[in-house]
Structure 1
Amino acid sequence: MENITSIKIFGFMANWSPFFLAFVILVTAVFYLVTTRWYDEFEGGRPLTRKEGSLFAVNMILLYFMYGGPVDILSHILFTFHMVQMAFVLFLIAPLVYFSVPAYLQKYIASLPVIGPVLSLGEKKPLVTLMLLIGAFSIYHLPVVMDNLKMSATLHTIALAIMFLTAIMAFYPMFNKVEPEEEQMGGLFKLLYIFGIGAFVTPACALIIFASNPMYATFTDGEAWLSAMELCVPSGILDSIAGAGMISGPEYFSNSTPLVDQQTGGIIMKVLQEVFFGVMLAHIFFKWFNEERRNEDQITEQALAKAQAQKNMHNRFRA
Structure 2
Amino acid sequence: MLGLEYFSFADLWSPLFLAGMLLLTAGYFVLIGPLSDRFFGSAPVLFRHRALFVSGMFFLYLAQGGPISLLGHLMFSFHMVSMALSYLVAVPLIMMGIPEWVWRSALKVNPFRRLSFLAQPVVAALLFNGLFSLYHIPVIHDYVMLHFSIHRIYYAVLFITSALMWWTLINPLPERRMASGLGKIGFIFLNMVLLTPACGLIIFATQPLYATYSDPDTWALAMGYCVPSDPAALLQAFGGPTFFGWMSPKVDQQVGGIAMKFIQEFIFASMLAYVFYHWYKKENGQDDNEELPPSSGLESGSLTRA
Tell whether the structures are fold-level matches, with TM greater than 0.5. Answer: yes
**1:192 aligns to 2:200 (yes or no):** no
Gaps in structure 1 of 5+ consecutive residues: 298-319
Aligned to 2:195, the other structure's residue is in SS state helix
The superposition leaves residues 153-192 of structure 1 with CA deviations (integer Å, 9 ceiling, x where unpaired) of 11100011111111111111221123527x5311011011
Distance 2:142 2:174 in 1: 40
Could you say what the CA RMSD is over the residues aligned between the two structures, in angstroms? 1.8
Which of these residues, 232, 255, 263, is aligned with residue 264 of structure 1? Answer: 255
Larger Rg: 1
What TM-score, normalized by structure 1, do the two folds share? 0.85
Which of these residues, 118, 128, 141, is aligned with residue 133 of structure 1? Answer: 128
Distance 2:114 2:164 in 1: 11
* Mapped contact 1:134–1:197 kept (Cα < 8 A): yes
Q: Percent identity?
A: 35
Shift of 1:239: 5.3
**1:281 aligns to 2:276 (yes or no):** no
Shift of 1:295: 6.8
Shift of 1:115: 2.9
The superposition leaves residues 215-256 of structure 1 with CA deviations (integer Å, 9 ceiling, x where unpaired) of 0000000000001112210135x65444xx221111111121
Aligned to 1:272, the other structure's residue is in SS state helix
- CA distance 1:119–1:57, shift in 2 (3 Å): farther
Counterpart code for 2:198: A
Distance 2:238 2:55 in 1: 35
* Mapped contact 1:119–1:169 kept (Cα < 8 A): no
Shift of 1:286: 2.6
* Mapped contact 1:119–1:172 kept (Cα < 8 A): no
Shift of 1:293: 4.1
Distance 2:76 2:148 in 1: 18
Distance 2:36 2:278 in 1: 28
Distance 1:36 1:49 in 2: 12
Distance 1:290 1:41 in 2: 38
Distance 1:184 1:295 in 2: 22
Counterpart code for 1:187: G
Question: Mapping of 1:27-176 within 5 angstroms?
Answer: 27-122=24-119, 125-176=120-171
Distance 1:115 1:291 in 2: 32
Q: Which has the higher helix share?
A: 1
Identify the residue that residue 12 of structure 1 maps to in structure 2: 9
**1:217 aligns to 2:211 (yes or no):** yes
The count of corresponding residues between Structure 1 and Structure 2 is 288
